[in-house]
Amino acid sequence: MNLSEKAEKGSQRFRLIKLCIFFSGLSVFAQLYLFQPLLPTVAEYFKTTAGDSSLLVSSSTIGMAAGLLFFAFKADSYSRKNLMIFSLISSALLTIISAWMPSLSLLIATGVLKGFVVSGVSAVALAYLTEEVHTSVVALAISMYLSGNTIGGMSGRIMATILAGEFGWRNAVLIIGVESLILGIIFWKFFPQSQFFHPQKIDYSLKIKQMGHFFTDPYMLRLYFIAALLMGTFVSVYNYLTFRLEDQPFSLSHFVIAFIFLMYIFGVFGTMITSRLTKKFSRNFILKGSVLFMMSGTVLLLSENIYVVIFGLGLFTLAFFAAHTMASQMTALHAKQGKSSATSIYWLFYYFGSSILGTGTGYILHAFSWTIFITVLLFSVVVSFILATRNQDLKDIKTI
């Protein structure tokens, strides 16, 4: 394999990869979380509880986790591009179909299926980038993908809120589904085929051996648990900060609170900044620094001053996405073989952390107080920092 044949900065192939991988992240995460701001509206429509309606969000992430486990075994037997096309088109169609679902249970079931099929993108995107993009700009390519994830998550929530207010929640879902379908078609048309990967017949014993290796590799395990803890912390803050801001001493309106998702813009900065920093610092050093800043942002959320809370949330968001970018890059680059398996396991931990910690901390907040809630989250971030520190004695891939 001649590295000079890989997509280099400035080439047409690299520009297409960068644009299409951004669109893929945009589509996946706009669909994955579009119901989060609609939960009160959907609960009222179906005459059900907030707890039942919240399954619309968790169903997609549960489906995503199940899909990632499946694709950890099967992804290498499919064309990278064809798998991503299937995921983007089928998930968009399921989102469109869900706009007409007559019951909450069918809507939740559709969410599980949608999460499962859309996981095909996350299962192979990082592997594709490390295989097809020249190593000098792989960090930039991964940052573009994660920026698409970030903007997709933000725009999906904000668009859903605004569209539902104007046209009703079903039309809001329909519009986002159609937009995702258009992005999928653009991806299908312009995304370059793999040059350095060819589908392989599945050797299940080898695949299990590879996955077993990743589960016994201390370096990878620490990255996986960092992903779970940081994502769980991140989701917890965005799930429950709304309740904090509605109460005294803030007493903000629902409309104003909906725009806290604009803070995801700082996440875009976080992913882009890291691609520049990797030219000067080791990835592990950037990871540790990002976790420290995330810790600082979490502490500031204890404040009763709205401006301090907003600043803290911005710092927290920027630092989370910087840390996530570094951890995912380190995972993909450390895996010399079975890259799709390694990155699938990363996303599996990522979404399990979101589901388990993101839900569990809600019960803690309900039973105790905001201070105890933040203390638990700080503990998770501190554990992540310790895990990142332990990785410094292993060979860290710097600028490659």
Identify the CATH number of the domain in which residue 66 sits: 1.20.1250.20
Helix (H) or strand (E) run with residue 320 in it: helix 306-334
* Token pair for 253: 């309106």
Cβ-count burial of 37 within 10 angstroms (0-12 exposed, 13-18 middle, 19+ buried)?
buried
279 and 348 in a single domain? The answer is yes
* Token pair for 66: 């199940």
Confidence of residue 54 (pLDDT cuts 50, 70, 90): low
300 and 386 in a single domain? The answer is yes
Give the model's pLDDT for residue 394. 44
Measured from the Cβ of residue 174, the count of other Cβ atoms closer than 10 Å reads 19
Last residue of a domain, one of 145, 172, 202: 202
Cα separation, 16 vs 335, whole angstroms: 25
92 and 161 in a single domain? The answer is yes
What's the whole-number mean pLDDT along residues 208-231?
89
Place of tokens 């996955």: 211
Is residue 28 within 8 Å of 122, Cβ to Cβ? yes
The one-letter amino acid code at 379 reads F
167 and 136 in a single domain? The answer is yes
40 and 184 in a single domain? The answer is yes
Note if the bond before 102 is cis, omega within 30 degrees: no
Domain residue limits at 46 = 1-202
* Token pair for 152: 């997709």
What's the whole-number mean pLDDT along residues 89-102?
95
Where on the phi/psi map is residue 202: left (φ > 0), alpha (ψ -120 to 50), or beta? Answer: beta
Place of tokens 């592997």: 127
74 and 134 in a single domain? The answer is yes
Q: Above 60 in pLDDT, residue 393?
A: no
375 and 316 in a single domain? The answer is yes
43 and 184 in a single domain? The answer is yes
DSSP label at 7? B
311 and 212 in a single domain? The answer is yes
Q: Is the whole model's pTM more than 0.85, yes or no?
A: no
Name the packing angle between helices 218-246 and 370-390 (round to 10°): 160
Q: What is the pLDDT of residues 291-346, one digit of tens each?
A: 999 999 999 999 999 999 999 999 999 999 999 989 988 888 888 777 767 877 88
Give the model's pLDDT for residue 62. 83
Closest by CA position to 312, among listed 257, 304, 191: 304
